[in-house]
Structure 1
Amino acid sequence: MARHTIDTEYLLAQLHELLHIPSPTGYTDSVVRHVSEELQRLGLEVELTRRGAIRAVRQGSRRAAARAIVSHVDTLGAQVKRVKDNGRLELVPIGHWSARFAEGARATIMAEDKTFRGTILPLKASGHTFNEEVDTAPVGWPHVELRIDDHTRGLDDTLKLGIDVGDTVAIDPQPEFLDNGFIVSRHLDDKAGVAVMLASIEALEREKSATPVDTHWLFTIAEEVGVGAASILTPEVASMVAVDNGTSAPGQNSAEFGVTIAMADQTGPFDYHLTRKLVRLCRDEDIRFQKDVFRYYRSDSASAVVAGHDVRTALVTFGVDASHGWERIHIHALRSLAELLTAYAVSPLEIERDLQPRGGLEGFTSQPAVDAGLGFDSDDH
Structure 2
Amino acid sequence: MKNRFNEEETVELLEKLVNIASPSGYTTKIMNFISEYLKDNNVPFIKTNKGAVIATLEGKNTQRHRLLTAHVDTLGAMVKEIKSNGRLALTMVGGFRWNAVEGESCTIHTASGKKIRGTILMHETSVHVYKKAGDLPRNEEHIEVRVDEKVFNEKDSRSIGIEVGDFVSFDARYEATETGFIKSRHLDDKASAAILLQFVKTIVDEKIELPYTTHFYISNNEEIGYGGNASIPSEVVEYIAVDMGAIGDGQSSDEYTVSICAKDSSGPYHYELTQHLVKLAKESNIDYKLDIYPYYGSDASAAIRAGFDIRHALFGAGIESSHAYERTHIDSIKNTAQLVSAYVASTMCDE
Counterpart residue number, 1:10: 9
User: 1:51-62 counterparts in 2 under 5 A?
Assistant: 51-62=50-61
**Superposed CA offset, 1:114-153 (max 9, x none):** 11100011011112222x4222121223220001111210
- Contact kept? 1:203, 1:342, Cα under 8 Å: no
SS at match of 1:134: coil
- Report Cα offsets for 1:95-131 as digits up to 9, x if no partner: 001000121111110111111100011011112222x
1:272, CA displacement in angstroms?
A: 1.1
- Is the counterpart of residue 125 in structure 1 residue 159 in structure 2? no
Aligned to 2:86: 87
Aligned position for 2:193 = 194
Secondary structure of the equivalent of 1:264? strand
Q: How do 1:144-159 and structure 2 match up within 5 A? A: 144-159=143-158
Aligned ranges 1:230-241 → 2 under 5 Å:
230-241=229-240
Is this contact kept in 2: 1:66–1:215, CA < 8 A? Answer: yes
Match of 1:162 in 2: 161
Q: SS at 1:61's partner residue? A: strand
> Amino acid of the residue matched to residue 123 of structure 2?
L
Q: Shift of residue 208 of structure 1? A: 2.7
Give CA-to-partner distance per residue, 1:308-342, whole Å, 9 cap, x none.
01110000021111100111101111111111111
Distance, in Å, in 1 between the alignment partners of 2:316 and 2:11 is 17
Matches within 5 A, 1:1-381: 2-113=1-112, 114-130=114-130, 132-351=131-350
Larger Rg: 1
Deviations 1:72-101 (A, max 9, x none): 010000001111111100001100010001
Measured against aligned partners, the alpha-carbon deviations of 1:331-360 in whole angstroms (never above 9, x if no partner) come to: 1111111111111111123535xxxxxxxx
**Structure 2 CA distance, aligned partners of 1:253 and 1:141?**
34
Cα displacement string for residues 360-381 of structure 1 (whole angstroms, at most 9, x for unaligned residues): xxxxxxxxxxxxxxxxxxxxxx
Using the alignment, how far apart are the partners of 1:192 and 1:232 within structure 2?
Answer: 23
Q: What letter corresponds to residue 125 of structure 2 in structure 1?
A: A
CA root-mean-square deviation: 1.2
Secondary structure in 2 aligned to 1:340? helix
Greater shift after overlay, 305-314 or 120-129? 120-129
Aligned equivalents of 1:344 and 1:3: distance in 2?
11
Provide Cα deviations, 1:244-296, integer angstroms capped at 9, x if missing partner.
11111111111111211000111111111111111111011111111000100
Instruction: Report if aligned partners of 1:321, 1:327 keep a CA contact under 8 Å in 2.
Output: yes
CA contact (8 A) 1:175 1:186 kept: yes
- Mapped to 2, the partners of 1:168 and 1:267 lie a distance apart of 29
Contact map agreement 2:98 2:138 (CA 8 A) in 1 = yes
The answer for the alignment partner of 1:366 in structure 2 is none
Distance 2:2 2:324 in 1: 32
Aligned residue number for residue 367 of structure 1: none
User: 2-side partners of 1:228 and 1:49: how far apart?
Assistant: 11
Is the Cα contact below 8 Å between 2:43 and 2:200 reproduced in 1? Answer: no
State whether residues 204 and 342 of structure 1, in contact with CA within 8 Å, keep that contact through their aligned partners in structure 2. no
With normalisation by structure 1, the TM-score equals 0.90
1:331–1:270: structure 2 CA closer, same or farther, 3 Å change rule? Answer: same
SS at match of 2:189: helix
What CA distance in whole angstroms lies between the structure 1 residues aligned with 2:31 and 2:222? 14
Residue 242 of structure 1: SS of its match in structure 2? strand
Q: Distance in 2 between matches of 1:340 and 1:295?
A: 23
Aligned residues: 350
User: The residue matched to 1:204 in structure 2 has which SS?
Assistant: helix
TM-score (norm 2): 0.97
Instruction: Find the aligned partners of 1:82 and 1:326 in 2 and give their Cα distance.
Output: 26
Following TM superposition, the consecutive aligned residue runs of length 4 or more in structure 1 with deviations greater than 6 angstroms are none
What is the match of residue 362 of structure 1?
Answer: none
User: What secondary structure is seen at the aligned counterpart in 2 of 1:78?
Assistant: strand
Aligned partners of 1:3 and 1:340 also within 8 Å: no
Deviation of 1:206 after TM superposition, in Å, equals 4.2
Read off the aligned partner of 2:121 and give its amino acid letter: L
Please report how far the alpha carbon of residue 203 of structure 1 lies from its aligned counterpart in structure 2 after TM superposition.
3.4
CA offsets 1:195-236 (integer angstroms, 9 cap, x no match): 111222233334432211101000111000000111131101
SS in 2 for 1:308: coil
Deviation string 1:17-52 (CA, Å, 9 cap, x unpaired) is: 001100000110111011112122232111001231
Tell me which amino acid in the other structure corresponds to 1:124.
E
Q: 1:61 & 1:41 partners in 2: Cα distance?
A: 25
Q: Percent identity?
A: 37
Between stretches 33-42 and 260-269, larger displacement belongs to: 33-42
